[in-house]
């Protein structure tokens, strides 16, 4: 069989790209190694930048988002017992973010993929990319136990950090940059009202904590934990006690406790692979870059990558030329690196690093105090948090 674009991976990057190409009338097939339930059920961050909200609107996929998403015009930063609010709307000339879980985004993308007849193949095994540096690339895989082959013009590697696409780029071409943080995030979901109507990022002597939410009745909370910790070490009671301590007396007192129905530990990593294009292969989303979750940039970066990639591919098929695909890697990376910087900075500002001297904690506290007192510093935080513009 033949198509124009093969997309590897049906996470947010792959499905958003499939919808964008479908809207442009560009035939594509998505190959996903896992089951639909597995992909849709993964619990991830839940803060959408305006650019991501606009993308979902452009795709006609924002009905539930508009009804159920929570618009946040600011967020709180807490340092030990002191809390201040960063007013995004005031600092950025009206910008805001929308709190709407990635699993909800995935549910909307999947439902529309079915109703619009997108070609998404789940449980596609042994996906392998061939002849990417020629004008006739093709992809082989196994479907229902049978070998299959798709010839195409382009391949979009949207297969996440552990995918095969990035690994298909020759090592002498690919450069990678990585930082692994010496801690993880322990996150829970609980059917309890959030402790605050906006998010609270808490920097505490005992470690970072984050109060987030999925709805008015469902809370998402995190505490920084050791990489050696196991889920079994963290009973619900221990989690709630630790969270309340780190959020400080006032916010901690507002926390409503309840049984957790999801609990997991995630490591934190900053990672970028350059270039994001090799021959007719284009990387997008986590296949090319990972950010630590502080600032919730992962899903938003996947969205902006595929906006840029779909524009570039549309130019090729509309006859507007190849400048877009030639420029894709450079354009995407320019925005990626700024989000990497912000996520690293926000992580460094708010987390407790083991084996650092007491001066580091004092410097962190001084920087937080500076941000609290400086409109300029808050503007930097706000404009990055709501999302930097897509430049040419």
Instruction: Give the binding site for ligand PHB (CB under 6 A).
Output: 45-47, 199, 210, 212, 220, 293-296
Shortest distance in whole angstroms from residue 163 CB to ligand APR: 4
User: Judged by CB under 6 A, which stretch of 70-78, 144-152, 157-165, 316-324 contacts ligand APR?
Assistant: 157-165
Say how many CA atoms lie within 13 Å of 37 toward its Cβ. 0
Q: In what order do the strands lie in the sheet with 138-143?
A: 125-130, 138-143, 146-151
Look up 385 and say whether it is catalytic.
Answer: yes
Q: Does 101 bind ligand APR (CB under 6 A)?
A: no
User: Judged by CB under 6 A, which stretch of 55-63, 152-160, 194-202, 233-241 contacts ligand APR?
Assistant: 152-160
Q: Are strands 138-143 and 125-130 parallel, antiparallel or unpaired?
A: antiparallel
Q: Does 13 bind ligand APR (CB under 6 A)?
A: yes
Whichever of 84 and 161 has its CB closer to ligand APR, that residue is 161
Q: Which of 100, 181, 221, 385 is catalytic?
A: 385
Q: How many residues bind ligand APR (CB under 6 A)?
A: 28
Q: Which residues contact 51 (CB under 8 A, 6 or more apart)?
A: 300, 303, 304, 307, 387, 389, 390
Shortest distance in whole angstroms from residue 343 CB to ligand PHB: 9
Residues 269/178, Cβ–Cβ less than 8 Å: yes
Q: What 3-state DSSP class applies to 12?
A: helix
Look up 138 and say whether it is catalytic.
Answer: no
Q: How far does Cα 284 stand from its chain's mean position?
A: 12
Distance CA 57, CA 91 (A): 25
Q: Residue 374 has which token pair?
A: 């400086």
Whichever of 184 and 248 has its CB closer to ligand APR, that residue is 184
Output the furthest CA–CA distance in the chain (Å, rounded).
Answer: 64
Look up 201 and say whether it is catalytic.
Answer: yes
Look up 100 and say whether it is catalytic.
Answer: no
Q: Which of 22, 72, 289, 351 is catalytic?
A: 72
Look up 4 and say whether it is catalytic.
Answer: no
The values of phi and psi at residue 185, to 5°, are -115, 130
Site residues for ligand APR, 281-300, by CB under 6 A, read 285-287, 298-299
Q: Which residues are catalytic?
A: 72, 201, 293, 297, 385
């Amino acid at each position: 069989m033949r198509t124009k674009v093969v997309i590897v991976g049906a996470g947010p990057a792959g499905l958003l790209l499939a919808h964008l190409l479908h809207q442009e009338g560009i035939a594509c097939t998505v190959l996903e190694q896992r089951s639909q339930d597995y992909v849709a059920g993964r619990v991830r961050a839940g803060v959408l930048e305006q650019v991501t909200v606009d993308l979902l609107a452009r795709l006609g996929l924002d009905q539930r988002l508009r009804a159920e998403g929570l618009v946040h015009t600011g967020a709180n930063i807490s340092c030990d017992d002191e809390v201040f609010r960063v007013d995004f709307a005031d600092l950025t000339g009206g910008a805001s973010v929308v709190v709407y879980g990635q699993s909800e985004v995935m549910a909307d993308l999947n439902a529309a993929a079915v109703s619009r007849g997108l070609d998404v193949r789940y449980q596609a095994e042994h996906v392998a990319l061939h002849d990417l540096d020629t004008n006739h690339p093709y992809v082989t895989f196994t479907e229902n136990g049978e070998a299959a082959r798709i010839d195409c013009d382009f391949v979009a590697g949207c297969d996440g950090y552990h995918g095969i696409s990035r690994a298909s780029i020759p090592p002498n071409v690919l450069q990678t940059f990585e930082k692994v943080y010496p801690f993880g995030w322990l996150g829970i979901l609980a059917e309890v009202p959030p402790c605050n109507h906006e998010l609270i990022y808490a920097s505490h002597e005992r470690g970072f904590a984050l109060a987030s939410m999925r709805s008015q009745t469902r809370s998402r909370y995190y505490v920084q934990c050791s990489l050696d910790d196991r889920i079994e070490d963290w009973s619900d009671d221990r989690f709630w006690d630790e969270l309340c301590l780190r959020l400080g007396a006032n916010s901690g007192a507002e926390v409503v406790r309840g049984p957790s129905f999801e609990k997991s530990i995630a490591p934190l990593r900053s990672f970028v692979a350059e270039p994001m294009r090799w021959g007719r292969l284009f990387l997008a989303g986590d296949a090319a870059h990972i950010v630590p979750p502080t600032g919730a940039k992962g899903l938003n970066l996947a969205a902006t990558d595929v906006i840029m990639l779909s524009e570039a591919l549309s130019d090729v098929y509309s006859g507007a030329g190849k400048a877009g695909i030639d420029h894709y890697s450079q354009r995407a990376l320019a925005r990626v690196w700024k989000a990497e910087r912000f996520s690293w900075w926000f992580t460094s500002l708010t987390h407790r690093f083991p084996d650092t001297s007491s001066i580091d904690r004092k410097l962190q506290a001084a920087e937080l105090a500076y941000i609290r007192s400086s409109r300029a510093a808050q503007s930097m935080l706000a404009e990055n948090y709501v999302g930097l513009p897509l430049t040419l």
